[in-house]
Amino acid sequence: MIENAHIVRINVDGQERMTRLKTMLHVPGNRLGLITSIDGSQLVTLLLDTNTGRSTVWETPLSSDVYPSLTMMIPQCHWFERSTWDMFGLKPNGHPRLKHNLLHEPYDASLFPLKTDHEVESHDTDRFYKCLEVRGQGVYEIPVGPIHAGIIEPGHFRFSCLGEVILNLEIRLGYVHRGVEKRIVEVPLSRMRFVAESAAGDMIAANALAHAVAVESCLQIEESPRARAFRTISLELERIAMHVSDLGGLAGDIGFAAVSTSMAILRGDVLGCAELLTGTRFQKGFIAPGGISREPSDKNLSQLRTNLKKIQLKLKPIVDFLFSNQVARDRMTNVGILTPKLAADFGVVGVAGRASGIAYDARKSFVHGCFPRQNMVLPVQQAGDVLSRAKVRAEELRSSLEIIYEILETLPGGDTAGAHHDLRSLNRFKFKTNDCGIGIVESFRGELIHLFFTDGDGKIIRYAIKDPSVNNWTALAIAVRNNLLSDFPLCNKSFGLSYSGHDL
C-alpha cells in the first residue's frame, strides 16, 4: 500500500474487484470517480470518500486483455469501460453495448494510443460502429450532426422517434479527440499546465486548478494563502460566467429574447472581471502549480469589487424575470426529467446531479482553493427537470458571488507564490517513484478529476483527466426519452455538456 496526504493506493485482485466495489459504493458518501489504466497491464479504479475527502486507487493486475465488465452491476462503469477499451485495448467481457467511444472507423483497429510496448498493424481498418436500432410501426430515425447549424462543437445525435416523441437517443462523440492525455506526459512539468487547461476551453480555471492540486499533492508543496484566495476567485468567476451563459441559452431556446440578450451582456461583464483578476478574459496561464503566475494590482481588485456589485444588481431582476414568467416556467417544467434513482445509478454530477436530488459538490469534500467549505448550503432540487437545473444554476450564481465577496473582504497578505514563484523551477522538482497525484475540483459542470502516476524513475507516465461531461452525457440521453423532439434543444442546453472535455 502506498499513501500520501490525499490518496491511498492499493492492489485489489481481479476476482474481488466487482464484489468489493459494489460493497464500497453502498457506503454513504462513497462514489466511483474513474476507471482507467496506467499502461494497459492493469485496471485502475478510483474511489472517492466525500465524507473525509480521501481518495483510494485500486490497481488490478491483468493477465490478459479481457476482464469482467462491471456495467450490468454498476451502470456508471459503462462509459469508462468503453474509453479504456479504445485507449488500452482492454475489453470488458459482458458489457451490454460495447462500442468504440473515442476512436472512429478511420483509425487502425489495432491502435491503442495509451498502451505501452504495443505495435500497430498498419492499414488494419476494421473498426465498426452501429447505432441501436429501434423497430416498430411508424418508428423512424433522425440523424443530427456531427456538424451542427450553430457554431458549436461536433457530436452526432441519432434520434429514434414515433411521431414527434423521442423513443431513444444515441450520442456519438470523439470528433474532437486530440490526444490530450498522451501529449501532456510528453512536455516538461513547467508546460504541463498549458496542456491541462486546454482540455476544455470553457473550463480553463477549473482544469488549471485541478492540475495544480494534483502536482502539489504529489510534490507535497502548498500554495500561499493569498494565492489560494485568488485561485478560488478565479474558479468562481468562471462558474458565474458559464451559469449566466447557460441561463441565457435556456432563455434563447424558449424564445425569451429579453433575458437571453441581457445574460449575454452580463457574461461579457463577468469576463471583464476575470480580466481584472488574471490579465485575460478566459483566465489562461493564471493558475500554476505552487501558486499563480501574476498578482492583480490593488486598483484592479478595487475595480473588481465595484464591477461585481454592479453585476449582482443587474443579475437579480433578470433572473427574477425569467422565473416569474409563467410561459417560461411552463416551458421548462416536467421537460427532460432525470429521476434521482437514475442520476445515482449513472454517477451524475454537478448541476444535473443536484437538480435530481444528488447532494454532492466537490467544494464541500475535497481540497482545492479555499475549499472544502463544510458550511456551504447546496441548492438541491428533486424534480430533475429543465426548470430544476435552471434553479440550481440561479442559486449557485448567488452563492458564488457571496464566496467572492467574503474572500475579497478577508484577503490574506503576503506572497502569491511562496517559494515556488519561479514556475520554471518546477522542472527541478523530483516526483517520488511509483507515486500518484490527484486534483478534484468542482467546475461549473461538476466533479473534475486530474490523476497521474509516476514510474520507477519519478517520471509522469500516465495522466488521466475525467471531465464531468463523461458522467453526464448518458443522463442527457435518458432525460430526453418520451419528450417531444422540439424539446431536445432545451434539454441539451439545460445539461450544458462539453464535447472537447469528454473527447480530450
Tally Cβ neighbours within 10 Å of residue 19.
10
Sorted by sequence, the CB contacts under 8 Å of residue 458 that are 6+ apart come out as 430, 431, 432, 433, 435
User: Which residue type occupies 49?
Assistant: D
% residues pLDDT > 90 (the chain): 85
Q: Would you say 197 and 284 are in contact if contact means Cβ atoms under 8 Å apart?
A: yes
pLDDT digits 0-9 by tens, 96-151: 999 999 999 888 888 899 998 767 666 666 678 888 889 999 999 999 989 887 78
Instruction: For the chain, state the CA radius of gyration.
Output: 22
pLDDT of 3 > 80? The answer is no
* Cis check: omega of the bond before 372, within 30 degrees of 0: yes
DSSP letter for each residue of 257-324 = HHHHHHHHHHHHHHHHHHHHHHSSTT-TT-EETTEES----HHHHHHHHHHHHHHHHHHHHHHHHHHH
CA distance 417 to 116: 37
pLDDT at 26: 92
Query: How many structural domains is the chain composed of?
Result: 2
pLDDT at 132: 87
pLDDT of 1 > 50? The answer is no
Task: Look at 51-55, 129-133, 188-192 and tell me which has the smallest mean pLDDT.
Answer: 129-133
Distance of CA 430 to CAs 52, 157, 299, 418, 452, Å?
28, 46, 38, 18, 14
Q: Would you say 196 and 465 are in contact if contact means Cβ atoms under 8 Å apart?
A: yes
Residue 171 within any structural domain of the chain:
no
CA distance 446 to 363: 10
3-class secondary structure, 115:
coil
3-class secondary structure, 419:
helix
Residue 423 within any structural domain of the chain:
yes
Grid-cell match 478566459, residue found = 282
Confidence of residue 419 (pLDDT cuts 50, 70, 90): very low
Among candidate residues 78, 101, 124, the one where a domain is terminated:
101
Residue 209 within any structural domain of the chain:
yes
CA distance 159 to 171: 9
pLDDT at 2: 47
Asked whether residue 94 falls in the same domain as residue 195, the answer is no
Q: What is the mean pLDDT of residues 76-85?
A: 96
Residue 130 within any structural domain of the chain:
no
pLDDT of 498 > 80? The answer is yes
pTM score: 0.95
Q: What is the mean pLDDT of residues 209-221?
A: 94
Sorted by sequence, the CB contacts under 8 Å of residue 446 that are 6+ apart come out as 349, 350, 351, 352, 353, 362, 468, 471, 472
pLDDT at 125: 65
Among candidate residues 81, 101, 121, the one where a domain is terminated:
101
pLDDT at 122: 63
CA distance 488 to 479: 9
3-class secondary structure, 59:
strand
DSSP letter for each residue of 132-163 = PPP-STTEEEEEE-SS-SSS----EEEEEEET
3-class secondary structure, 201:
coil
How many C-alpha atoms does 115 have within 13 Å on its Cβ side? 21
Nearest to 331 by CA among 494, 440, 192, 153: 494
15-24 long-range CB contacts below 8 Å, 24 or more apart? 17/43, 17/45, 17/58, 17/60, 17/70, 18/68, 18/70, 18/73, 20/58, 21/45, 21/47, 21/58, 21/70, 21/74, 22/73, 22/74
Q: Would you say 53 and 365 are in contact if contact means Cβ atoms under 8 Å apart?
A: yes
Any idea what the CATH number is for the domain that residue 411 is in? 1.10.645.10
Domain hosting 266: range is 180-503
User: Which residue type occupies 307?
Assistant: N
Asked whether residue 193 falls in the same domain as residue 72, the answer is no
How many C-alpha atoms does 141 have within 13 Å on its Cβ side? 12
Report the phi/psi class of residue 384: left, alpha or beta, with left for phi > 0 and alpha for psi in -120 to 50. Answer: left
Q: Would you say 92 and 85 are in contact if contact means Cβ atoms under 8 Å apart?
A: yes
Residue 144 within any structural domain of the chain:
no
Tally Cβ neighbours within 10 Å of residue 268.
12
The DSSP secondary-structure symbol of 103 reads -
pLDDT of 427 > 70? The answer is no
pLDDT of 257 > 60? The answer is yes
Among candidate residues 46, 78, 101, the one where a domain is terminated:
101
pLDDT at 4: 57
Asked whether residue 79 falls in the same domain as residue 199, the answer is no
**Angle between the N-to-C axes of helices 386-409 and 225-253, in degrees from 0 to 180, rounded to the nearest 10:** 150
Confidence of residue 389 (pLDDT cuts 50, 70, 90): very high
Please state the length of the chain: 504
CA angle 87, 91, 97 (to 5 degrees): 100
CA distance 352 to 492: 11
Asked whether residue 329 falls in the same domain as residue 467, the answer is yes
Distance of CA 314 to CAs 267, 448, 451, Å?
11, 30, 39
Asked whether residue 190 falls in the same domain as residue 94, the answer is no
Nearest to 77 by CA among 63, 65, 67: 67
Any idea what the CATH number is for the domain that residue 26 is in? 3.30.460.80
Residue 134 within any structural domain of the chain:
no
Asked whether residue 225 falls in the same domain as residue 331, the answer is yes
pLDDT of 39 > 60? The answer is yes
Tally Cβ neighbours within 10 Å of residue 227.
27
CA distance 200 to 182: 16
% residues pLDDT > 70 (the chain): 94
pLDDT at 184: 97
Helix and strand numbers, DSSP H then E, in the chain: 15, 15
Task: Look at 198-207, 415-424, 476-485 and tell me which has the smallest mean pLDDT.
Answer: 415-424
Asked whether residue 369 falls in the same domain as residue 228, the answer is yes
Residue 162 within any structural domain of the chain:
no
Residue 222 within any structural domain of the chain:
yes
Q: What is the mean pLDDT of residues 305-331?
A: 96
CA distance 298 to 11: 51
pLDDT of 268 > 70? The answer is yes
Asked whether residue 277 falls in the same domain as residue 408, the answer is yes
Q: What is the mean pLDDT of residues 320-334?
A: 96
